[in-house]
Chain A
């Protein structure tokens, strides 16, 4: 398993646990009094689960298992994958912090956290698509056979 896949999958596990923990806290707020901003964490729960867990697992496994680009560089330009990994995870962390801040005070000067979070997650998603696109392909003839056919 390549290093980037391990990072993606382990980050996915952490996000999975964090999402479920957050779900417990959100549910607890209906039983015991908790700070008001807990209600605003519902979108954070969904995104930790769907982006942090499911999407990152997909990214990690596809980076590992999809057909190679070529023999010299089987996984393409890996730096794109690394930037995607960092962008998505930093973006998610900024969202975890930014959502309650904006909920408590919508004109708070710290709302830039959400803007940067949106930008980072978007960059992460786009770089992953660009990076993995070339590895979504059918079986190709080995070059020696192509030469023989020609």
Chain B
């Protein structure tokens, strides 16, 4: 497993732990409403699990397992994928804290980071999607 996949997958597992913890707190609060403000973490719960866990784990496995190129850099331009990793995580955190911070365009900034991350990752992976035996 390449180093970048290890980072992507381990981060995704950390988000799974955090996301499940927040989810458990919200569900507990639904039964016994002791801390109503815990509902403010709903956006964080969704960001952590949908993008942090599911998307990031998918990216990590795809980077590891897709067919390799017959070039010096057999997993394509790894800088793009590494930058995607940084931007995705920045975007997840920016969007997660957006409900707590009154800064203009903070959610938009987070979404732009996430979109840029996905586009960069697609650019890295695109040449690795080819028919068996082509190379």
Contacts and interface: CB of A to CB of B under 8 A. Distances in A.
Contacts of A113: 31
B131 interface: no
A111 B16 CA distance: 25
Nearest to A106: B33
| SS of B interface (majority) | helix
Interface residues of B, number: 26
B86 interface: no
Interface string B9-35: 110011011001101110110111100
Contacts of A67: 1
Contact of A98 (B17, B25, B31): B31
Contacts of B16: 55, 125, 128-129
Interface residues on A, range: 20 to 34
A122 B14 CA distance: 13
A70 to B, nearest CB: 15
Contact of A133 (B13, B25, B30): B13
A139 interface: yes
Nearest to A61: B61
Interface of B: 1-3, 6, 9-10, 13-14, 16-17, 20-21, 23-25, 27-28, 30-33, 49-50, 53-54, 57
